[in-house]
Chain A
Amino acid sequence: MKAKFVLFVMIVGLLLAACGPQPAETVVTEAAPAEPAATEAPATEAPAEPAAPEMCMGAQPGDELTVMYVWSGAEEEKLNAIFKPLVDTCGIKIVAESTRDAAVVDTRVQSAPPDILFWPSTAPVDLYTDKLVPLDTVGGIAENYASYWLDLGTRDGKWLAVPVKADIKSIVWYSPAQFEAFGYEVPTTFEELDALVEKMVADGNVPWSMGMESGAATGWTGSDFIQDILLAQQGPEYVSKIISGEIPYNDAGVLQAYQTYYKWASDPKYTVGGAEGTLNTAFLDAIYKPFASPAEAMMVKQSGFAGGEIVKQFPNLVYGTDFDFFPFPGAKGMQGGADFMMVFGTSNATKAMVAYLTGPEGAANWAQAGFDLSPNKLAAGKYTDAQLAKKGEALANAAGFTPDIGDTIPAPFGEAEWKAIIEVLQGGDIQAALDKAAQAQAEALKK
């Protein structure tokens, strides 16, 4: 029995092997056109339209546009909804690839660069400065962006990256219903926040949920928190000077911010689980705690994305009543992060996409799709979702914008900063931890 079976496997194997190369080619030729079924429909519709409109920049129906981005799952769906009007009008085919792996991006850029790359930082601008195409030469409209956004993507006077999606970080999430039950008021200054926190502790409530576990990236939640304290205690100028290296990371102002943070993040009266809880609670779980039943904390300081995570976890909670956010009290500036668009191609389809996203239609569609915020000025007032509208307002009204320190200074410093936070929470001396981080800051900024 066994021998027969094995013989059979072998014969089949040999037969397949003998005619291996031939099916190879038929499969390839068959599979290639069948694959983009999702984009096929627009391609067949396109010829029905008389002449290609202006927004296509000369792109012909059937032109391919290769894009790479980090988004997947539901986020990718939103992106496709934003692309759809352009795809439908011009009949271009979008060949998309989603990856979170910088090594895959590197392989692509070295062999066959995508026409357009979307990346959550401007790191590729420094890596591929020579390969990138200045955006103003491919239809990018600079006047739709605030100057601080343009500065982030400009190298040697060349405009190489434009933010397409932004998220604000200097906000605190809370439950209005819970605040009402206890008679708490939303604080507007840092002193009021401090007083509110003390009042919550006096009432026997835990004010903060500060959990920050995030695998190898543990520490970023704490880093955001400390930057907000810095923005409140010292202001955006001070933060910018840390980023540029003019102020060392072991300065007295930073020390003061760390002391405030340590007081809140290490005591079980102030945060869920004390220092242990801060270090070991996953940042996603920390978001849920103030909104769980029963509520384990009163507030969680987390970026704008937290709103989406709360509804996903608790679909019956209502924005505005069960959960809402307020700007970090007293912060003289808004901390935020963004996803940038960078361009390697110069085809007409590429130009059409760049012009679309940096222009009015792209801004409006981005706002309506509800894919976080669009830094494009023309997106203001176009948000259909109340939560996003409020976030958009908070971003537009911010006194100043500071990028996340960790995202901006080269990686070794960001990691040193995280390490300092973890060390402090583990009971280490704050000054000693900051001295080490300051050393990493000096080395990272030395060129």
Chain B
Amino acid sequence: MKPFSRLNHILRNLPVHLALIIMCLLWILPTLGLFVTSFRSREAVRASGWWTILQREQQPGQAGYETYCASCHGPRGDALAEADLSDPALIAKYPRANRLLPVLKQEINGMPHLSDPALPENPKDALDTLTPIVTYLQTLSGESDQTARLTLRNYADALVGYKGTQDYITDCQQGTASALAKFRCDASDLLNPEGMGRAFINTLIVAIPSTILPVFFAALAAYAFAWMDFKGRQWLFAILVGLQIVPLQMTLVPIARLYVSLGMADTFLGIWLFHTGFGLPYAIYLMRNFIGGLPREMFESAYIDGANHWLVFLRMVLPLSLPAIASLGIFQFLWVWNDFLVAKVFLATHPVLTVQVTNLIDPRGGNWHILTGAAFLSFIIPMIVFFAFQRYFVRGLLAGSVKG
């Protein structure tokens, strides 16, 4: 009977598993596309989609080439020395069929260029015939060779903040003037203020204190709300929790004015305080529920033994509420890391990753091959945090909902 019950079990769970697998695929697919694209060259990104990297070069124009050209130019295109079709410099002159057509209409040595068979008379049919041949010639000459190669140059461009028309490494090798004006072409470029490298450091400087400060203060406040008796405790707690509904956007202008008058505009201190302030209500709420759920007897015996509040907080509450602190820290860290608006408004001259990404692309959406590399650089740390502390996510989600 046992095999059957197992089979039943599998069959029963099959829809759930299928749904899970499909959802995972749907979530992973765009990221995978971005990941593959981030290793493709600018030309390749422009020419084809990321899913084509495993395809073999198709050669649709080969049949046309063999019909019209191979009899004189040879199967590899190099039979005639004066018109070597395998020479990229020659082929580069004919990027489109409409450029090749006039040449083919000219006579060669008093004879039509093409006679056996002749090109169709109608220009539309002639262009339709020539277009795949032109594509084939570009493959043959190696003109479009680099489209298949994978490269790390997008990452280099993103790290140093390159915005020119080629790429950083090529520019540096060629010693282009515009590149040398901005870059030193050595390791110090990693800290270029316009690059993702510098933005990475800026983001760390913003995110670490903006995580530690609210979590620490929230733990203190939560302890007070849970275990210290003072007048108006419940009211104060209700007001604090209620403060969560204040939309962050509404406070931008008043706080920006305040910071300007205090000389804190565009400083790290300003953005730490902002994130701390807006992180606190939720953090206190979550921590109070957790700390309030610790057994009362434990606190009573500690007080009887002569421990004061500070000692109880440091020796008992902090170690016991580590799961809550960890999950809260993760959430706060990811929120600050991904924040765009607050950093854009309060830290304009020290761009963080999210802000720097928008500085790299053109307003009409050009240059987006750099964006792919930049996007991956910006979520390396969140990925590490997520995979290292996965289990706390679930605990964090439950911490506020189920009161012990």
Which positions in A face B, CB cutoff 8 Å?
A: 6-7, 9-10, 13-14, 16-17, 20, 23-25, 27-28, 31-32, 35-38, 70-77, 81, 95, 97-101, 103-104, 106-108, 110-112, 175, 177-178, 180-183, 203-205, 284, 291, 293-295, 305, 309, 312-318, 321-322
Known: A20-B213, A97-B348, A111-B260. A73 touches B123 (CB 8 A): no
**What are the nearest 8 A-B pairs in CB distance?**
A111-B256, A73-B362, A177-B98, A17-B216, A294-B131, A316-B95, A112-B260, A111-B257
- Nearest residue (CB) in A for B43 is A315
- The reply to whether B163 and A181 contact each other, CB–CB distance below 8 Å, is no
Knowing that A28-B268, A322-B96 are A-B contacts, what are 17 other residue pairs whose CB atoms are under 8 Å apart, sorted by A's residue number? A6-B322, A13-B325, A14-B216, A17-B212, A20-B212, A24-B269, A24-B272, A38-B192, A72-B362, A73-B363, A74-B362, A74-B366, A76-B359, A99-B344, A101-B344, A294-B131, A317-B96
* Selected contact of A31 from candidates B92, B126, B350, B359, CB within 8 Å: B350
Interface size on B, residues (CB 8 A): 68
Contact residues in B for A284 (Cβ distance below 8 Å): 364-365
B209 with A72: CB separation less than 8 A: no
Task: For the complex formed, measure the closest distance between the CB of B218 and the CB atoms of chain A, giving whole angstroms.
Answer: 11
Which of B253, B329, B344 is A106 in contact with, Cβ under 8 Å? B253
B residues in contact with A204, CB < 8 Å: 124
> What does DSSP make chain A's interface, helix, strand, loop or mixed?
helix
A208 → chain B closest CB, angstroms: 17
A111-B256, A305-B364 given; A31·B322 CB < 8 A: no
**Nearest CB in chain B: distance from A165 CB, A:** 12
Inter-subunit contact B268/A111 (CB<8 Å): no
B323 surroundings in chain A (CB, below 8 A): 6
On whether the beta carbons of B325 and A107 are closer than 8 Å, the reply is no
Q: Is the interface of B mostly helix, strand, loop or mixed?
A: helix
Distance (whole angstroms) from the CB of B169 to the closest CB of chain A = 18
CB-CB under 8 A for A35 and B349, given A17-B216, A181-B123, A316-B95: yes
Q: Does B312 sit at the interface, judged by CB under 8 A? A: no
Most buried by B among A6, A204, A291, A309: A6
Nearest B residue to A68, CB-CB: B348
Point out the residues of chain A lying under 8 angstroms from B126, CB to CB. 181
Enumerate chain B residues within 8 angstroms of A317, measured Cβ to Cβ: 95-96
Contacts of B178 in A (CB 8 A): 77, 81
B252 at the interface (CB under 8 A from A): yes
A70 contacts B256, CB within 8 Å? no
Q: Across the interface, name the chain A residue whose C-beta is closest to B391.
A: A2
Given contacts A107-B345, A181-B127, A316-B95, contact A36 B256 (CB under 8 A): no
Complexed CA–CA distance, A175 and B123 (Å): 15
Given contacts A17-B216, A97-B348, A110-B253, contact A7 B272 (CB under 8 A): no
Report chain A residues within 8 Å CB of B350: 31, 35
Given A74-B366, A104-B344, A110-B253: A10 in contact with B359 (beta carbons within 8 A): no
Contacts of A37 in B (CB 8 A): 191-193
Q: List the A side residues contacting B127 at CB < 8 Å.
A: 181, 294-295
